[in-house]
C-alpha cells in the first residue's frame, strides 16, 4: 500500500462521513431541536423586554 492508496481511502472515508453528517443534520428527528436552537437569540430579547417591563 503506497501513500496514494492511503490518500484515496482517507478521501473516501471523509466523503462517507460528510454524507452521513448531512443526513443527520437534515433528518426530521433533529428538526425540532434545531428550530429551538435557532430561536435562542430571540428568546433572550423577549426575556430582557419582560424584565424591563416588570421593573417599570
**Per the confidence metrics, is the pTM higher than 0.85?**
no
Return the C-alpha cell found at 4: 496514494
pLDDT for position 6: 96
- H-helix or E-strand spanning residue 2: none
Q: What is the pLDDT of residues 8-51, one digit of tens each?
A: 999 999 999 999 999 998 998 888 898 999 898 888 766 556 66
Contacts of 30 (CB under 8 A, 6+ apart): 24
Query: What pLDDT score does 1 carry?
Result: 84
Amino acid at each position: 500500500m503506497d501513500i496514494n492508496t492511503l490518500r484515496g481511502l482517507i478521501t473516501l472515508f471523509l466523503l462517507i462521513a460528510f454524507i452521513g453528517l448531512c443526513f443527520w443534520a437534515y433528518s426530521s428527528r433533529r428538526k425540532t431541536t434545531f428550530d429551538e436552537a435557532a430561536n435562542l437569540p430571540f428568546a433572550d430579547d423577549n426575556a430582557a423586554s419582560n424584565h424591563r417591563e416588570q421593573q417599570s
